[in-house]
Structure 1
């Protein structure tokens, strides 16, 4: 992705690539919702991208050690 596309990546109702949107559809909410969920759980979501080479999405969430629910 380009730097301009990266700036819009987590914005709700925003598509960074109109061509893909026309071909496959979508609302542009996926990463926005994913970021909210990660933050609600005390984590974060990151995207690394090199234009023309591809992108990697990473999610970091805190782990609960030592037991079951509660």
Structure 2
């Protein structure tokens, strides 16, 4: 195999690998944010259920500050 073809193949593989790594990092960041939002939603839902179950008067508990940012 000639050198230009070998360089082209190695470059193409490096680009594909870089795209996969970038996609995995983006996915990891999105999953961390999703998990944090899910925990905040669960906490707020738990507070609302407790508020209703205890028969407390309005207003219901407010959502967590970071939930809808």
**TM-score normalised by L of structure 2:** 0.27
**TM-score normalised by L of structure 1:** 0.27
Which of the pair has more CA radius of gyration?
Answer: 2
- Structure with greater strand percent: 1
